[in-house]
Amino acid sequence: MAPVPPSLVVTGTSSGIGYAVAGLAIAQGWRVFGSVRNEADAARLTGEFGDLLTPLIFDVRDEAALAVAAKTVHASLGSATLNGLVNNAGIGLGGPVLHQPLDEFRAVLDTNILGTLLATRAFTPLLGADQTLSGRKGRIVNITSIAGKIGSPFAGAYVASKFAVEGLSEVMRRELKLYGIDVVVVAPATVDTPIWDQPEGAIGRYAATDYGRAFDKGVRTIVRAGHRHGLQAKDVAKTVMKALTARRPRLRYAPAQHALMEQALPKLAPKRVTDFVIAHSLGLMPDEKKALRGVSV
């Protein structure tokens, strides 16, 4: 009898890191259940990976849809445990914290924080919290970001969500010890994914505010950095698979294309120095000749 392949649920597999994790896991012999949000993406992934990937159609904010997806996975695995859950699905919508529409801010928080929580609640029984299942306990990998430790201007919602997921992951790791389920964080620096094709559409959006020029400059800078200097999604996928399979994984992995510049120096530099450098580079220094125009909050 052929050995049963390890199984994995990955949220957000339509592109980027989630897509790369699904592909690498399949190449390494895993059975993957990948979440997408529409039938078109489900058909595309099925066409690429065939029976090696089972698409699950849900939005991570939809608790009812997650429950249906968990039942689908359970039915497929029978009495066996699920070996891994990668909470990857997320969005990033930028803007000055004083002006970004609250519905956008909430959408980022709901997707990145509550989505991680809801997916974890839905699949943790299959990872081994359900004592009737047999097999080794599964492991959870939460994808955060360098933004979970360092706050960049105009990414307030995304930064707040990733800081929150860092803390939530620590709580999960300690609480889920009760079931023998480990929780690991993978927090990459800038990654070259299709997410960088979106921000440029926001250029000029805040032109009527005091942040107009700085916001546009910040968007152009981060998009350029993402495409020119970002990690490849496949490299992050390798780290995720290491986090899933290592006998004694680290608590947190922080892959980066330029680890010293992107991960180490920003943490070592005094905060006030970093504040000054960022403010000066983006044009966020106060005007010495006149006070800023009134900002409506």
Catalytic site includes residue 206: no
Catalytic residue among 158, 206, 211, 253: 158
Helix/strand/coil (H/E/C) assignment for every residue in 92-133:
CCCECCCCCCHHHHHHHHHHHHHHHHHHHHHHHHHHHHCCCC
Sheet of strand 182-186, all strands in order from the earlier edge strand to the far edge:
53-57, 31-36, 7-10, 84-87, 139-143, 182-186, 252-253
Q: 157-181 burial, b for 16+ CB within 10 Å, e for fewer?
A: bbbbbbbbbbebbeebbeebeebeb
Token couple for 234: 């496949």
Could you tell me the CA-to-CA distances from 227 to 11, 189, 203 in Å, in that order? 23, 13, 17
Catalytic residues: 158
